[in-house]
């Protein structure tokens, strides 16, 4: 795989300048190809009639690989996921100066880095999508190497999803705070209504 963009290079697990946005994580399969696990998959074909009007009416638009499919009510079983470059292969040609999400600070990514990012920036659909293995072929894949890379990717993603699914102290406190605010507002609203009814 030659001539990869710097953003793509920064998404390879185990490289020393791993990007700050692990929406996609890549592994090299020897010299024959690469394997990808993607939280954010880019929709290629959708029925525009099924996109709710509210999606386009928002003040802050997200990228379509963020929450478009979720807003359409899609589950993972409603989506055909292309997992092999022999089926579909598309290229994005970005200027080499486009460096979104990159860092010039030498730092190997850790599993905890991915967990922290995934807790904040993924939804339930993303966490289903990342369980699919996507293969980019640049030649004939050596079966043993391919199996080893798949196992490494599986182990990482399983650990990340296990940890993302478990509440942290911060999320528990945040949930408690939201619940408390809800009951306080409801109590004040009932008090206000009761005061009006008594006048």
Determine the Cα–Cα distance for residues 151 and 92; give it in Å rounded to an integer.
Answer: 28
Q: Say what the pTM is.
A: 0.77
Helix (H, G, I), strand (E, B) or coil at 26: strand
Domain positions in the chain are 6-166, 168-199
What single string gives the DSSP state of each residue in 174-194?
HHHHHHHHHHHHHHHHHHHHH
Q: What percent of the chain shows pLDDT beyond 70?
A: 80
For residue 79, what is the DSSP state?
S
Q: Which of 28-32, 127-131, 180-184 has the lowest mean pLDDT?
A: 180-184
The pLDDT score that the predictor gives to residue 118 is 95
User: Residue range 152-180: average pLDDT?
Assistant: 75
Rounded mean pLDDT of the chain? 83
The pLDDT score that the predictor gives to residue 172 is 43
Q: Label residue 60 by pLDDT band (50, 70, 90).
A: low
């Amino acid at each position: 795989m030659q001539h990869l963009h710097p953003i793509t290079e920064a998404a390879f697990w185990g490289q020393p300048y791993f990007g700050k946005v692990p929406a996609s994580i890549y592994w090299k399969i020897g010299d024959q190809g690469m394997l990808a696990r993607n939280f954010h998959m880019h929709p290629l074909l959708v029925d525009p009639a099924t996109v709710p009007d509210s999606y386009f009416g928002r003040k802050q638009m997200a990228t379509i690989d963020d929450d478009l499919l979720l807003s359409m009510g899609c589950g993972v079983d409603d989506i055909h996921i292309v997992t092999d470059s022999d089926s579909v292969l598309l290229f994005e040609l970005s200027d080499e100066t486009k460096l979104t999400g990159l860092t010039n600070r030498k730092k190997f990514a850790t599993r905890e880095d991915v967990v922290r990012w995934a807790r904040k920036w993924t939804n339930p659909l993303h966490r289903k999508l990342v369980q699919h293995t996507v293969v980019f072929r640049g030649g004939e894949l050596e079966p043993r190497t391919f199996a080893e890379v798949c196992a490494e990717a599986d182990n990482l993603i399983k650990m990340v999803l296990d940890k993302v699914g478990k509440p942290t102290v911060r999320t528990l406190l945040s949930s408690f705070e939201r619940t408390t605010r809800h009951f306080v507002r409801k109590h004040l609203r009932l008090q206000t209504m009761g005061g009006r009814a008594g006048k």
